[in-house]
Amino acid sequence: MSAASSRVGQALQAAVSAGAGTYLADDTKREIRICAGTACHASGRVALRKAIDAALEERGLAGDVAVVETGCHGFCEEGPIVVVRPEGVFYPRLKPVDIPEVIETSVMGDGVVERLLYVDPATGRRVAHEREIPFYALQKRIVLGLNGKIDPYSLDDYLAHGGYSALAKVLSQGDPQNIIAEVENSGLRGRGGAGFPTGKKWRLCRQNLGEKHYVICNADEGDPGAFMDRSVLEGNPHSVIEGMIIAAYAIGGGNGPVEGYIYVRREYPFAVDRVRHALDRARERNLLGKDILGSGFDFDIRVNQGAGAFVCGESTALTASIEGQRGMPRGKHVRTVAHGLWGEPTNINNVETYANVPFIVKSGADVFASTGTATSKGTKIFSLTGKVVNGGLIEVPMGATLREVIFEIGGGMLPGREFKAVQLGGPSGGCLPAALLDEPIDFESLLAAGSMMGSGGMVVVDDSTCMVDFAKFFLKFTAEESCGKCVPCRVGTSRMLEILERISEGRASLQDLDLLESLADDVVEGSLCALGGSAPNPVLSLLRYFRDEIVSHVVEHNCPAKVCRPLIRYGVDAEACTGCAACIAVCPVHAVSGERKAVHSIDEDLCIKCDACRRACRFNAVSVETGVLAPA
């Protein structure tokens, strides 16, 4: 044992020193970090990078100051994000024109450019460091710890921050059962949605014998409006790979061959690219492939891309997709751990689940389990989006309350808006109203409240969102994404959608609500897989918490959020209208008319209710009425 242990230790040392000189983890060095995540890319990091390079070149600093492109920092709302190290000065929403000033003040000098700093919306104060920004200060970042700190394209960077030491520890101990026990003791539960205990899954998979075992990482991230897995893969791909190798060793070590797959959605080109790159680098240094770190254990990982089917996140559909079939789930009477990919025992975990594993191995199960609640241990990443001030990626301890997350980290609602609901779990989850804001976030509490943990999507909506429309959105999504194999899901979701459409058009009766409820139960009961089994959840939570709003649609033809088009009417407020003609210019159907400096009017017969005029009006003179009209 000790011989093996020193061999692995030396091999890791060799892997680390193979890159020495190209990068040193020196936390005192002057360095500019630009976020190169998907969101910051969209808000202009390429132009920013060019400006930085040019400005450094001009000042003869090109070789001295390192420019590092990192993964997502989490605060995507404020992108593109630049952090100047070692002081860690945080510059949000930078523009290329600001760069020379930033470089002269913060890179060449020790100052900060006051006017470009982040303004804390609560206090109105400018803050210079990530740690002082409430968005970051209240988080607990275990999985995301290195996100935004390291260059995802650099294996050396990861190694310099203690990367792959968990793998070396596991391989030198050489006891797969022990790792499984450790993960079981840590209480880690799957982060992909269902919360199945990870250690137990590994044990079951190990017990099932086959010609081969498969270890798969589910990075399909089907929940639309969530990007946890994208950010982890983009920002720190090696942590997921290390977790997968450890899982593979726990399942296959001394138990036959193992092979790995990462199934990642095609919509994430950066994540795919970085994962592929990371796999190549790991192979070069013998962290992956044959005889990993001289331990005699073989394991390799292939990347498979999804093709835009939500249902492929479901484990049996995922394996079908890798096999080159239509991604249709099969019944769960045969478990994937026994009979998965190509009929062999298969372990499927979520990205975030794997990313937690190196931490557990390094720090021990107890340390991991010291965070969280009785049944849910560790932290959970959420992607906080919708109508909050600070949208982005957050990692909080299990047991934090929704209020803390939304109002303290998320900074609360946009000005002048009122909190209405928070939606968790995506198309499989439910909406929770303000009364439940003090619920702790853990698997059981959320389920009991009629929602679910899900994979981490958290969409906050305010009084301008119509809950009927919101439920309709989710149902339309699941009806479209239903693979069509089983009738309850294929037909049931469409019928439910029709009822919701009737409600939003003012053509429904109160009996429809009962029908909706009983249909929902049938779809839950009768569907083959969890897509149908959870598709009615958004509707059920709507019926449970927002019944008044539906009834008001049905009885009074009133859409309080003024969203459902058949129930609203546009008009001009004569008092406020200044006759500026801005609305006339934008109306796509020429429904607005009037002379300059005279009150305008909207022709209701022509109006298509596209909202363009209201958005264009700077005087709030376009009014929307509801509840008074009879349905067409």
Ligand X SMILES: Cc1cc2nc3c(=O)[nH]c(=O)nc-3n(C[C@H](O)[C@H](O)[C@H](O)COP(=O)(O)O)c2cc1C
CB of 42 to other proteins, least distance (A): 4
Residues 311-330 that bind ligand X (CB under 6 A): 311, 313-315
Q: What 8-state DSSP symbol labels residue 404?
A: I
Which residue(s) pair with 301 in the sheet? 260
313 vs 536, beta carbon nearer ligand X = 313
CB of 256 to other proteins, least distance (A): 18
Amino acid at 468: V
Contact 147, 236 (CB under 8 A): yes
Cα→Cα distances 36→41, 77, 189, Å = 6, 14, 30
Q: Are strands 346-350 and 213-219 parallel, antiparallel or unpaired?
A: parallel
Choose among ligand X, other proteins, ligand FES, none what residue 162 binds, the Cβ cut-off being 5 to 8 Å by kind: none
Choose among ligand X, other proteins, ligand FES, none what residue 267 binds, the Cβ cut-off being 5 to 8 Å by kind: other proteins
**CB proximity list for 141: less than 8 A, separation 6 or greater:** 147, 379, 395
CB of 23 to ligand FES, least distance (A): 22
Contact 631, 554 (CB under 8 A): no
196 vs 342, beta carbon nearer ligand X = 196
Residues 213-252 that bind ligand FES (CB under 6 A): 224-225
Taking the C-alpha atoms of residue 514 and residue 58, their distance in angstroms, rounded to an integer, is: 71
Nearest CA to 572 out of 550, 587, 554 is that of 587
Burial class, 605, CB count within 10 angstroms (exposed 0-12 / middle 13-18 / buried 19+)? exposed
35 vs 89, beta carbon nearer other proteins = 35
**CB proximity list for 115: less than 8 A, separation 6 or greater:** none
70 vs 350, beta carbon nearer ligand X = 350
Burial class, 2, CB count within 10 angstroms (exposed 0-12 / middle 13-18 / buried 19+)? exposed
Q: Is 118 in the site for ligand FES (CB under 6 A)?
A: no
Q: What is the CA radius of gyration of the chain?
A: 27
Give 119-125's long-range contacts (Cβ < 8 A, gap of 24+).
121/389, 121/390, 121/411, 122/411
Choose among other proteins, ligand X, ligand FES, none what residue 81 binds, the Cβ cut-off being 5 to 8 Å by kind: ligand FES
Residues 79-98 that bind ligand FES (CB under 6 A): 79, 81
CA angle 382, 385, 391 (to 5 degrees): 90
List residues near other proteins by CB under 8 A.
38-39, 41-43, 76-77, 79, 221-227, 230, 266-269, 271, 304-310, 321-328, 331, 333-335, 338-339, 383, 385-387, 391-392, 423, 426, 457, 459, 461, 465, 470, 473-474, 477, 483, 485, 586, 588, 610-612, 615-616
301 vs 348, beta carbon nearer ligand X = 348
Binding span for ligand FES by CB under 6 A among 71-79, 336-344, 398-406, 414-422: 71-79
Query: Residue from 186, 353, 451, 552 that binds ligand X (CB under 6 A)?
Result: 353
Contact 550, 506 (CB under 8 A): no
Query: Residue from 74, 412, 427, 457 that binds ligand FES (CB under 6 A)?
Result: 74
Query: Residue from 33, 49, 73, 238 that binds ligand FES (CB under 6 A)?
Result: 73
Choose among other proteins, ligand X, ligand FES, none what residue 35 binds, the Cβ cut-off being 5 to 8 Å by kind: ligand FES
The site for ligand FES (CB under 6 A) is made up of: 35, 37-40, 72-76, 79, 81, 224-225
The site for ligand X (CB under 6 A) is made up of: 190-194, 196, 218, 220-222, 310-311, 313-315, 348-350, 353, 455, 529-531
